[in-house]
């Protein structure tokens, strides 16, 4: 080897990323001539002082399809497209902070130290089924009706199903404040800006925020940012689980994540299926949900997702029910009567409640549900004037116990009822 060749070989290897040019913009979709990036990678589109972050959602021949994570304005043909590598450093600094979908602080607090914490993947791999811990311990969420009748287990995945305006956000706040988990990760996806602020300040409160990480992606943000926010919240929860924490992940709402993926899928050319949802939606939701749960030798993620029901046989509602370990149904009828939390115990189920409860607790639960179901039957007869006391002893018992059952199900939003208190009051209600 010549002296010149040896000199060149000794030089540090510096790679210059390939850049591309913006060629087309139609609706939400941007097309560019490069650079060569895989689906899911990030890129910047820059023209003058305008710089927009985009995600690669597809490609065809030598063209990349991009969706902007912010408003794609003030761009013209020929704008520069360059690769971007964003990372998130998870660490103690996150607790008590409010972040956007890319992990940037929104609360006006100090910027995190670039060297503080551990760099994590925003799309962590799904746990091996054989590495999952069996759900065997109850999780106290501070809500009497859930602790007593729908007892949750550490590592469980459950949904809160409701029509809009029935009190699901208040119920999430009650659980975030009342849980005995080590940390909360709360994802507010697609919320109104006003509601996000009210949830953090009024419903969650200072005590709840102190032990929480909040990811807030408001409804005015583009659809890809909604998906990024859900992925970031799940990744943060996975990081805390790896460090031995018992984590409560609250996501409001899973439906909006599905709607965002529908927007992304249709814009990138996917065919619509049920209710206009493309196939990628039915792949995203199970993949997102299955990243949670318990892990052998580490902590656990108990995940609670809200699901908005706009109609009967909602495809996302049916998908969530088949993916999750139970569902808590909120009743508009109960909410209209000022009954909060508006949990319908007969329509709700926790598939692990029998595993994490004592035999006495299970017997009291079944007794309560039997009495409540018979009260529902009696209420219809009473409304029709057809109820005759003394003809059915068990129905008479349900009518006599109705007031105690209703009292058990009601709870003030600022009240916390522990698991032990919930079980004791359940046994008293059915005694």
When the pLDDT of each residue in the chain is averaged and rounded to a whole number, the result is: 88
**pLDDT recorded at residue 21:** 92
**Predicted confidence band of residue 381 (pLDDT cuts 50, 70, 90):** confident
Would the pLDDT of 227 be above 80?
A: yes
Structural contact between residues 151 and 361, judged by C-beta atoms closer than 8 angstroms: yes
For 118-146, the pLDDT digits (tens) are: 888 877 777 888 888 889 999 999 999 99
Long-range contacts of 204-210 (CB under 8 A, 24+ apart): 204/173, 204/176, 204/177, 205/173, 205/177, 207/177, 208/173, 208/176, 208/177, 208/184, 209/96, 210/95, 210/96
Average pLDDT over residues 410-420: 93
Tokens of 266: 């249709």
pTM: 0.89
Average pLDDT over residues 212-235: 92
Least confident of 43-57, 355-369, 408-422: 43-57
């Amino acid at each position: 080897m010549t002296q010149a060749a040896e000199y060149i070989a000794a030089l540090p290897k510096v790679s210059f990323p390939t850049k591309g040019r913006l060629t087309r913009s139609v609706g939400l979709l941007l097309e560019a001539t490069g650079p060569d990036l895989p689906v899911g990678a990030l890129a910047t589109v820059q023209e003058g002082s305008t710089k927009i972050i985009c995600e690669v959602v597809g490609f065809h021949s030598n063209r990349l399809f991009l969706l902007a994570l912010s408003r794609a304005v003030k761009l013209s043909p020929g704008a520069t497209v360059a690769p971007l590598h964003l990372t998130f450093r998870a660490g103690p600094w996150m607790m008590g902070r409010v972040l956007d979908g890319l992990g940037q602080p929104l609360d006006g607090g100090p910027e995190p130290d670039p060297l503080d914490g551990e760099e994590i993947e925003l799309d962590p791999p799904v746990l091996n089924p054989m590495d999952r811990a069996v759900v065997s311990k109850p999780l106290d969420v501070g809500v009497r009706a859930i602790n007593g009748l729908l007892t949750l287990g550490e590592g469980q995945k459950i949904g809160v199903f409701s029509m809009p305006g029935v009190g699901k956000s208040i119920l999430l706040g009650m659980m975030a404040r009342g849980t005995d988990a080590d940390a909360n990760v709360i994802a507010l996806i697609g919320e109104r800006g006003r509601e996000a602020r009210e949830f953090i300040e009024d419903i969650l409160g200072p005590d709840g925020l102190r032990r929480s990480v909040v990811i807030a992606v408001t409804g005015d943000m583009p659809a890809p940012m909604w998906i990024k926010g859900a992925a970031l919240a799940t990744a943060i929860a996975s990081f805390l689980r790896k460090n031995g924490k018992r984590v409560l992940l609250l996501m409001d709402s899973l439906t909006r994540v599905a709607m965002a993926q529908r927007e992304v899928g249709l814009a990138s050319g996917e065919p619509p299926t049920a209710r206009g949802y493309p196939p990628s939606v039915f792949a995203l939701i199970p993949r997102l949900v299955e990243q949670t749960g318990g892990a052998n030798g580490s902590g656990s993620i108990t995940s609670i997702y809200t699901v908005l029901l706009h109609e009967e046989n909602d495809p996302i509602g049916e998908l969530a029910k088949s993916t999750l370990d139970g569902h808590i149904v909120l009743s508009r009828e109960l909410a209209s009567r000022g009954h909060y939390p508006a949990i319908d115990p007969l329509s709700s189920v926790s598939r692990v409640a029998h595993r994490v409860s004592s035999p006495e607790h299970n017997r009291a639960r079944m007794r309560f549900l039997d009495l409540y179901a018979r009260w529902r039957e009696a209420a219809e007869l009473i409304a029709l004037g057809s109820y005759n006391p003394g003809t059915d002893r068990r129905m008479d018992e349900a009518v006599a116990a109705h007031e105690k059952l209703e009292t058990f199900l009601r709870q003030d939003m600022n009240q916390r009822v522990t698991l032990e208190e919930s079980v004791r009051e359940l046994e008293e209600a059915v005694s």
